[in-house]
Amino acid sequence: MPQDSKAAILGRVRAALRTPTSPQVMPPKAALELAESGPARAEAIRRSLPTGGENYEESKALFAEQSAALKTRFVPVPSLQAAGDELARMAAEHGWSRLGAHAGELVTPLAEKLGLETVMTDGGYDPNELERCEVGLTECDALVAQTGSVLVTTRSAGGRALSVLPPHHVVVARKSQLIGALVDAYELLESRYGDAYPSFMTFITGPSRTGDIERILVLGAHGPKELTVLLIEG
């Protein structure tokens, strides 16, 4: 490595070390020492991380802010009917002809209304057929305001592949599924699946991306290039 490049890198490291850490961020060890276990431990971890909002409106605003930074398209809508209208508009705009979906309280009526050729992932299906779908429509376990993430599992999102193979992933969620912090997400997973965890759980934080080559951001490198979240508020 040329000496000039090495000096430049070390200079940026030194400059970063001089930047004060946010007072909201506490070293993990210090946070864990605040409590031994149980709810107090979770609360200590929660207080050591940036806030996820004190109420729904704050969490919604934070999720919108994080989504913009991550290049996630976040669309709050007043009703399931409005979600269907938005999906129809997107289908026309993008020229979708094939949809991947799973059975669900929200997804089933939306997929039926959309009226596209649909690959359902609840039973056996051909992965090649799913790969030919332009869009995958799923539900989720939660939306996390603190990080702008979507929490999905095999049970909430139609298996492992539906949220990964189609190039555009559309997530539909209810208002009650927007939570503040990652700690809340882990507590939700424990309460919902504590006796039998799904085989797959993940946080989707923006479209798939990489910056490995020349530090140039490329979307869609390892999964969907586009991520849209429809939040039904009514």
Amino acid (1-letter code) at residue 78? P
Domains of the chain, by residue range, sit at 52-232
Q: Please state, in angstroms and rounded to a whole number, the distance separating the CA atoms of residues 161 and 216.
A: 27
How is residue 157 written in tokens?
Answer: 């999102």
- Is the domain covering 52-232 a CATH 3.40.50.300 domain? no
Do the Cβ atoms of 226 and 94 come closer than 8 Å?
A: no
Q: What is the mean pLDDT of residues 16-23?
A: 71
- Let me know: does 106 contact 232? Beta carbons within 8 Å: yes
Q: Is residue 202 a contact partner of residue 182, using CB atoms and an 8 Å limit?
A: no
Residue 31 has pLDDT above 80, yes or no: no
**In the structure encoding, which two tokens stand for residue 65, read together?**
């802010």
Pair 130, 122: CB distance under 8 Å:
no
Residue 86 has pLDDT above 60, yes or no: yes
For residue 105, the model assigns a pLDDT of: 97
pLDDT in tens, 142-172: 999 999 999 999 999 999 999 999 999 999 9
Which of 79, 82, 121 minimizes the C-alpha distance to 101? 121
Q: Is the pLDDT of residue 32 over 70?
A: no
Sheet-wide strand order for 168-174: 73-77, 226-232, 168-174, 135-138, 98-101, 117-120
198 backbone dihedrals φ, ψ, rounded to 5°: -65, 160
